[in-house]
């Protein structure tokens, strides 16, 4: 992976792509204040250096029938490296788990789970999550409404974002 030293233009490119990953290179170049060919070279360099990991569409979960989002805290019985790795592999195979974080503190993991309805969520929790080996406790916090969604990171305006 090639190292790229970020300047104002790179930060502006990252800011714009984070806001709209489907922006054309021509429009991106205009917003970054450069011409299209160097803009494309910079984007490729940012991708190769790992600053840009990919592109995706922000799909409306409710339009596809996923009516609930639940944040679930999971505690394990054992915490060996093998146990943690095994739980991580299981999570990767559960499509309704959209995000998973290894935590410190009271719980070992925080999962973001989407489901069609409460029945589907309950079925997942009882048949897969709590039935999984080494799971000690599961505590859930249903989301009532998403108030803010800002993917990525804040890129400081004075630095180009």
Residue-level pLDDT at 8: 95
Same domain for 88 and 32: no
Whether 154 is covered by a domain: the verdict is: no
Residue-level pLDDT at 5: 84
Whether 97 is covered by a domain: the verdict is: yes
Mean pLDDT of the chain: 93
Whether pLDDT at 161 is above 60: no
Whether 152 is covered by a domain: the verdict is: no
Q: How far is CA 108 from CA 15, 83, 131, in A?
A: 33, 11, 17
Domain that holds residue 101: 62-142
**Pairing of β 97-102 and β 68-76:** unpaired
Same domain for 131 and 77: yes
Same domain for 68 and 32: no
Residue-level pLDDT at 10: 96
pLDDT tens, 61-120? 999 999 999 999 999 999 999 999 999 999 999 999 999 999 999 999 999 999 999 999
Same domain for 125 and 71: yes
């Amino acid at each position: 992976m090639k190292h790229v030293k970020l300047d104002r233009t790179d930060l502006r490119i990252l800011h714009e792509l984070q806001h709209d990953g489907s922006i054309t290179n021509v429009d991106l170049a205009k917003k970054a204040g450069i011409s299209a060919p160097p803009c494309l070279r910079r984007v490729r360099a940012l991708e190769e250096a790992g600053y840009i990991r990919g592109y995706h569409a922000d799909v409306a979960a409710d339009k596809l029938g996923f009516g609930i989002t639940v944040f679930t805290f999971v505690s394990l019985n054992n915490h060996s490296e093998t146990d943690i790795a095994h739980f991580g592999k299981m999570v990767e195979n559960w499509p309704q788990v959209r995000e998973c974080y290894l935590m410190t503190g009271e719980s070992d993991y925080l999962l973001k789970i989407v489901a069609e309805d409460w029945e589907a969520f309950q079925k997942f929790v009882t048949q897969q999550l709590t039935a999984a080996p080494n799971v000690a406790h599961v505590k859930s916090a249903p989301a009532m409404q998403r108030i803010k969604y800002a993917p990525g990171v804040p890129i400081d305006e004075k630095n180009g974002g």
